[in-house]
Amino acid sequence: MAKRTQALNFQEMTLALDRFWAREGCVLEEAYDVEVGAGTLHPATFLRTLGPRPWRVAYVQPSRRPADGRYGENPNRLYKHYQYQVILKPAPDRVQTLYLASLERLGLRLDHHDVRFLEDDWEAPTLGAWGVGWQVFLDGQEITQFTYFQQMGGLDLDVISVELTYGLERLAMFLQRKASVFDLVWAPGVTYGSLRREEERQHSAYGFEHGDPTTLRALFEAHEADARRLLEIPLVLPAYDAVLKCSHLFNLLGSRGAIGVAQRVELMSRTRALARACASAYLRLLTAADSEESRGG
| Long-range contacts, stretch 173-181, CB < 8 angstroms, 24+ apart | 174/138, 174/139, 174/141, 174/143, 175/7, 175/8, 175/13, 175/106, 175/107, 175/108, 176/7, 176/9, 177/7, 179/75, 180/75, 180/76, 181/75, 181/76, 181/78
Told to check if 53 binds another protein by CB under 8 A, we report: no
Per-residue string for binding with another protein, 149-188, x by CB under 8 A?
-x--------xx------------xx--x-x---------
Q: State the nearest-atom distance from the C-beta of 232 to another protein, in Å.
A: 31
Q: Where does this chain touch another protein (CB under 8 A) — which range of 116-124, 183-191, 219-227, 283-291?
A: 116-124
List 53, 112, 210, 284, residue binding another protein (CB under 8 A): 112
Q: State the nearest-atom distance from the C-beta of 169 to another protein, in Å.
A: 12
Told to check if 115 binds another protein by CB under 8 A, we report: yes
Q: Between residue 250 and residue 269, which ones bind another protein under the rule CB under 8 A?
A: 257, 260-261, 264-265
Q: Where does this chain touch another protein (CB under 8 A) — which range of 15-23, 36-44, 105-113, 283-291?
A: 105-113
Told to check if 293 binds another protein by CB under 8 A, we report: no
Told to check if 213 binds another protein by CB under 8 A, we report: no
Told to check if 71 binds another protein by CB under 8 A, we report: no
- In the complex, the residues that contact another protein under the rule CB under 8 A are 1-2, 74-77, 90-91, 93, 96, 109-119, 121, 131-132, 134, 137-141, 148, 150, 159-160, 173-174, 177, 179, 257, 260-261, 264-265
